[in-house]
Structure 1
């Protein structure tokens, strides 16, 4: 028997959440109605506290992919995804200690402004901006598809209608309210994300008879996999790819993303900006661990009778909303709250993405080429944010063709994340890599990563899902379940040996390829002309020891601190 459908109270809860998000945008649009500054719209004019900004940073990347996709991956492939908390912690520490001070002290609106100053090239800046726009639009489409799938599975509302509802609400409040609306809606949405996880865990644990029973069932089903030290690249998840490649992914989010840099810029001091960033470690880690626990709970409840093979759902991405409908059908409103939490994960990421896309488009493409008044600039930026919202709606319809939203995220976005992160790492740590090395490195790295991605889509591999026992299913077609295998994946022949590696590796391979290509081009083909001096302020302190003295007109030592904007202001008082 399928799960109950939405009750009236569920619809009211969901609509209430969407209304609150919209009203927050209207409030800040009214509050800042006399402002003609793009800084106010894009960075909040440094008037935001570190606590709400910290919540906003977490919410920006804890999208519907985390709420729907991660638990379903644990259900299919085991608990090894807990290592995501380790990779996120490493990435955030690197961002806080290395990248944040560089960006914050430059007081930039677009992160790509750093690349122009570092490589003395508008071409590098424009290329990185273009990559970010495409990457973020793809990501927006994936996270917009997720909650629409969830809503359709428990309400009967068509997925296309859900996409339009979610996308247009988010586009509206982001386009009119700017960064302040984005941050404060993120705070509300982050609270709902936690509420959704807790509801699923409590309902499932109570249903099976306690946490001990959850552990026992998962142990019997082979889901308590906390490490896999195999070097076989055809396993979907191993200790190596989750730790290494996901660290690249999280660094792409925290070290080389316009979305997060705008939040750095929204805080009044470097110290508070670092505090906001470091608080993401417990916030993101706890959310990822709740994802893993939710996946184990899903298996404990449905591991002996998969709802896909009773015809209740189509994909395991739908299990999170389904379990609430199934187990808590006698409590109207809770299903609406769960779907609202899934929408929260999507809306927080979408609004941050639209705002960041508007900032990059304005600062990297429009402002250098078109002269506009302050008021015209604000209206133009708002229109651009709205345009990207509409575009992401169209892209969302393409995401449904992938096996899961985790695969869609890791493959499509990972192909852009690795090369984009690499150009910032090159700029900040390797002084002798110059303009041509950066340009060719990114282009060749992107070509390599997309070759792998498109090959894996055109020639999909067979999955390595763990088996599910459908002994308790009453449906006559339950025996049609395609059982997984505990055996190592077989090594494919020919070109498939490349196309069938785990999609988790794509971001790391794109990152490494870009580094290799860039260093090679700079080493063998870059001009030896040293007339263009490299400003050491754009190189991280520990890497300045590798600078040619001719490149260091300020004669800065390896660890000599670069004065911050705040220190410079104080020195003149």
Structure 2
């Protein structure tokens, strides 16, 4: 017999303890420190040129840049969304650590050699050189749309956590935090972004480890967490289901997310900007290695936290028992329920960490987006004599403020939507497919021409967005459902005992992970899991581009600049004829070898 009285008592007594003064000090201190960083780099180390404002003078160290890369891609979606995803659907998400390694390898051997060889400062500039200016505009526009869609989600998540643990309305805290971020980003430029990211990431790491180790202790130890997670069907570590309609599988993450991250972690302008802020290729390599390790560790820690929470609440789910109202509130509830009373100030540190991830992501995107808007939209329309560093700085700062205000307002839309992981992945995946497809086409398919790339981009974007919207409408109508793994509440009531045999008898249904789909109503493409949206976009992009390129005439590979293709793929190009200088060098080498051969023959005789 399993006595659940203790679990019921804990759940009945779990309340959201108001912030103590130590919590408020930690939270406000994090915001003030970010402001101080902005003031220091804005007024005492002025970013008075566009090169300093966007690249930090290209003298940044690899370690702070690596931490900034990790921080800017570790948003509240990571800290709150991943544990909730694992708690409700299982831990397939662990495969993202492998995706990160694959992306870093692709970047180092694929795109970075091209970027550095061409000495360009923008991933969009590469597309202009490889295809034409129209492609550059399309891609930069997609980037702007994607960031404006993504930033409100990034802001909303920490505001939700703050509201959960303090009771303060989301609409009150959001403008305050956004103002802090807009201030230090616009005033301090790239250096303020990197160093504030480093400080904020330290808070995130400290909080994540504190919750992780305390959670292990209060969930009964590692062995109990593993056993209960296995019993509850959460340990789907190698869910190799090949069905494309399955919500999340190992293949979905390995294929779908890797392709999506080509746009987000590989050729993303924010990443390129940070690569170019370092003085040497060795620094870039070190930074990539550090980023890969730290990013993977954070992901795995968040996955583990989801399993810890399930072991803690396996018999009394907070969502089903109405302790929380939304799935993404499960981690704030866990923090306040389990660890808040154990360590003074931890709730404040937790909220500071969640906001730190949001500030890191938001500041990086604001800085990058302001530069993109200036370079690709505003600068071409300005007379050349007005394109001064002073004008560029003023315009980029104004862009930062405007984008920040728009993102803050759009939070009102995001809060009406559902779980953040599927939402963020679906939105970004529907746009990432087109962007990733363009870069894959440019780097790996040298015979594709500009007309093919242009038409392929429109077709890919239209079809992928249509796919996403159609699937979302069917989900809203109930024609497509992705049931959560079973959530139990029998432990929420006093004097509850369940025979273990009867309890086990109910568990085979847990492993039925198939989506519930009304086949008569749903078009077969709408059944596709949101994880495969990027694959669909890339497939449409490359197929359409090749067909159009074939109709309009493939590129003449003899005229292709080999610097536009990664060294590992230059075997696709015809061998270039040697220049006169190379011929002389080759002749000299041949003569030297011939002399050496004759000398050895004479010695042998």
TM-score by length of 2: 0.86
Asked whether the 8 Å contact 1:259–1:353 carries over to 2, the reply is yes
Deviation of residue 30 (structure 1)? 1.4
Contact conserved, 1:236 with 1:464, CA < 8 A, in 2?
Answer: no
1:8 aligned to which of 17, 21, 44: 21
* Maintained 8 Å contact 1:452/1:498: yes
Find out whether 1:537 has 2:550 as its counterpart. Answer: no
Quote how far apart the aligned CAs of 1:309 are: 3.0
Distance change >3 Å, CA 31–CA 533, structure 1 → 2: farther
The reply to whether residue 72 of structure 1 matches residue 84 of structure 2 is: yes
**Cross-structure match for 1:380:** 395
The worse-fitting range, judged by mean Cα deviation, of 442-451 and 394-403 is 394-403
Task: Tell me if 1:357 matches 2:357.
Answer: no
Contact 1:203 1:324 (C-alpha < 8 Å) held by counterparts: no
Map 1:323-342 to 2 at 5 A.
323-330=334-341, 331-342=343-354
Give the 3-state SS of the residue equivalent to 1:308 in structure 2. Answer: coil
Corresponding residue number in structure 1 for 2:511 = 486
Q: Say whether the 8 Å CA contact 1:549–1:555 is kept in structure 2.
A: no
The residue aligned with 2:427 is 412
Deviation at 1:556, TM superposition (A): 13
Instruction: Determine the structure 2 residue equivalent to 1:29.
Output: 42
* Residue 427 (1) aligns with residue 442 (2): yes
> Is it true that 1:438 corresponds to 2:453 in the alignment?
yes
1:471 match: 490
Q: Distance in 2 between matches of 1:436 and 1:556?
A: 36
Contact preservation (8 Å) 2:113, 2:567: no
> Please, which of 390, 408, 425 is the counterpart of residue 405 of structure 2?
390
1:521 aligns with 2:521: no
Q: What root-mean-square deviation, in Å, do the aligned CA atoms of Structure 1 and Structure 2 show?
A: 2.3
Deviates more, 1:99-108 or 1:463-472: 99-108
Are 1:491 and 1:497, in contact at CA under 8 Å, matched by a contact in 2? no
Answer with 396-405 or 215-224: which moved more.
Answer: 396-405
- Map of 2:307 onto structure 1: 296
**1:103 paired to 2:115:** yes
Secondary structure of the residue aligned to 2:67 is helix
TM-superposed CA distance for 1:230, in Å, is 1.2
Q: 2:191 aligns with which of 180, 184, 202?
A: 180
Equivalent residue, structure 1, for 2:285: 274
- What is the distance in 2 between the residues matched to 1:241 and 1:531? 35
What displacement does 1:163 show? Answer: 2.1
Q: How does 1:555-570 map to 2 (within 5 A)?
A: none
**TM-score (normalizing by structure 1):** 0.91
Q: Is the 8 A contact 1:5 1:325 kept in 2?
A: no
**Is this contact kept in 2: 1:3–1:329, CA < 8 A?**
no
| Residues 531-567 of structure 1 deviation map (CA, whole Å, 9 limit, x = unaligned) | 99432211112333333579x898999xxxxxxxxxx
Distance 1:203 1:530 in 2: 62
Unaligned runs of 5+ in 1: 476-482, 558-573
Q: How many residues align?
A: 547
Alpha-carbon separation, structure 2, partners of 1:384 and 1:533: 40
Taking a change above 3 Å as real, the CA distance of residues 553 and 514 of structure 1, as seen in their structure-2 partners, is farther
Q: Distance in 2 between matches of 1:514 and 1:6?
A: 51
Q: In structure 2, do the counterparts of structure 1 residues 105 and 547 end up closer, same or farther at CA, with 3 Å as the change threshold?
A: closer
Contact 2:71–2:200 (8 Å) recurs in 1: yes
SS at match of 2:456: helix
User: 1:40-119 residue pairs with structure 2 within 5 A?
Assistant: 40-119=52-131
**Cα deviation code 1:436-481 (max 9, x no counterpart):** 1111111111111101111122221312311111111139xxxxxx
- 499, 517, 520: which is aligned to 2:526? 499
Pick closer, same or farther for the CA change 1:432–1:191 going to 2, 3 Å. same
Q: CA deviation at 1:490?
A: 4.3
**In structure 2, C-alpha distance between the alignment counterparts of 1:80 and 1:556, rounded to whole Å:** 56
| Contact 1:203–1:328 under 8 Å retained in 2 | yes
